[in-house]
């Protein structure tokens, strides 16, 4: 499927759809939590996004490897990576989106740990 998608140019659409699914999943989960009336302390997608104060990207010369470094409010950094197996499919914008999303995912456990510390104090 990916080979055919790469040939007709729709591979970009597949990656953008993956990004949308990630965001839609978060929104669906948020709606379900609210719908069930769950009100205990928790981390929300908005809290994750508010923690990010900076972002930098690097693509290694001659490769399709994109690194995203997100800086958080306290100065801590997390990284995310993306790469494509076929260099002909490399698109810098898509690479940045995927790397950013992968870096952002790493913030969830960090903030979960912080919240658990606060709840146990």
pLDDT in tens, 71-109: 999 999 999 999 999 999 999 999 999 999 999 999 999
Gap between the terminal Cα atoms of the chain: 51
pTM assigned to the model: 0.79
How many whole angstroms from its chain centre is CA 102?
Answer: 4
- Position 24 scores a pLDDT of 75
74: closest CA among 20, 111, 39? 111
How far is CA 14 from its chain centroid? 16
What are the DSSP E strand ranges found in the chain?
52-59, 66-72, 77-82
Distance CA 5, CA 7 (A): 5
Q: Where are the domains of the chain?
A: 2-120
pLDDT for residue 13 is more than 60: no
Q: Give 47's contacts (C-beta < 8 A, 6+ positions apart).
A: 111
CA distance 23 to 51: 17
pLDDT of residue 89: 93
How large is the average pLDDT for residues 33-62?
Answer: 96
What's the confidence (pLDDT) of residue 119?
Answer: 97
């Amino acid at each position: 499927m990916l080979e055919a998608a790469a040939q007709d140019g729709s591979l970009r659409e597949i990656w953008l759809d993956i990004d949308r699914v990630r965001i839609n999943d978060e929104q669906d989960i948020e709606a379900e939590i609210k719908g069930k009336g769950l009100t205990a302390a928790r981390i929300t997608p908005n809290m994750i996004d508010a923690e990010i104060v900076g972002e930098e990207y690097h693509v290694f010369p001659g490769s399709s490897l994109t690194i995203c470094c997100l800086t958080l409010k306290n100065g801590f950094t997390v990284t995310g990576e993306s790469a494509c197996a076929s260099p002909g499919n490399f698109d810098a914008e898509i690479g940045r989106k995927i790397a950013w999303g992968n870096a952002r995912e790493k913030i969830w456990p960090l903030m979960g740990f912080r919240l658990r510390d606060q709840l146990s104090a």
